[in-house]
Structure 1
């Protein structure tokens, strides 16, 4: 074969390679476009020159972005995000090549968990931009604030009762001692009985006033709506992303009953707490393996969360639902998570059950009474 023939063969081979590479790029771009078009999470892709290259449909709705914003500097569209240090945070991640995660409140007073991840070109070991994800946690923040407020009310009640009933109790104790004295005439006896009756009435009124929790105090946890379990589970997994990555947790789902009419903020908090506990209380040396299942159970929708963690001893199965109960002091926590979950479920007519074997794992079953 002469030189011209070899040159022609080389050109044909290069054309075939370029065609294959171009086809692969188109395929990868189609996959990326498909992901961005179908994800339920608001996401932005900003390149290293601070140019907005892509965003998901939820981001368009949440932040009122349009197709005309593609190709603009993120500085020019950051006012849509309404978070004052947004641009500075992107610049920080590009410069450091490190993830940034924070809970933010936008100027419209809604709360998000913002994750900014560097988009790294591996061959060149440089950051070519960032992917910004926003998880709407406003419902979770508001319900936690509500229960924090409710817990403070309970604490105030306990402190008030311990202080305010001392006086009436002292009066009753003194009157009882007088009645026990032998030298009493009938008139004195009746007077003491009247005073004792009055003191008991005053004590009862004091306790009732201190312990009066109005329905409005827990109204923040109501407002039912149609809730999609898969969306809620994905929200919880994204919020627990670092813990999942750190432990290697494997979470599988089997959704037979996809939706429920319930308070969305309650369902989110319930799922988050149960998944968080399943990861937190992993068995030493084991990767957390967690399964989440929903199904119909008579008049209820049953959510089951099963793990292979440390398990719970038989004599502790009921106390873990009590406020401030902690079985493992070496694991960070406040001891109110399951107390809150139980309150949410029972407040709406449902029930939570626990099956557990120490050292083998636990299964939490939440029976939701669907609100029509």
Structure 2
């Protein structure tokens, strides 16, 4: 009896779920750990058929295996707690139907959700890396070969034409530099741990606009800034916030509508104890409705006017996700685009280090 009590104490305090069924596969015992994981009282599950919780193909394969020697099955199952939450388990099922005391199945469910998510993240990262390497080697060749070709021509050109070729070479090299910077942002976002630091948002916006004003006729775009922080400080990851701002500003400038007399970028910010909200609005060429859901996809380009790698908005969305924030886009073809960004304020808490 003492050993049985000790065994029960171990089972009840384990993070694994232990289930015992009868000959009809109805649950007659389930450990209290099911409450910790699913917030369900163990008693409410008694009498339920264990195969109500697994797919039909698993039920058939388990029963087939349990009739063989050894009488056990090792498998993996996923169970949905809520509509948006799935928990993964390694499952070991033992057939003890012939055991004089048990006369049923014994299941041990070990939670592997964290491991599963890490595996999925690793697979996703590897797939993205393969795509990035292929795309980078392909896209970097064009400006590089263009610059080399122009150098060859410029070497033999008359003196009065050399400045023209130098300008074209500079344009190709700037395009190459832009590609490399996007690659740098991509890998930096993947590898660097999250930081928590005080951000001067007004200064950051001014610096990024100054850096970009000579890009793609940026000087002709009027910038209007409305900042509201009520004296509240904002803490987040400066490098990642800067990456988000730079990419969206760059897009607003690159995709301005050259047919309009007064191109503009309107920026409105608000910082409170919980969030920093940033709205960036332009009256550029806008986004075709059929492309709106795809603009954050890896390497997607919504227009032939695009000159980049197609990484910019993918990096923006991925960065904001890592900051536990959100981004919404509203756009109308020919009228302009608005990005609404919300990033948590880490004023009174620490950011989780990855």
TM-score by length of 2: 0.45
Q: TM-score, normalised by structure 1?
A: 0.43
- The structure carrying a bigger helix percent of its residues is 1
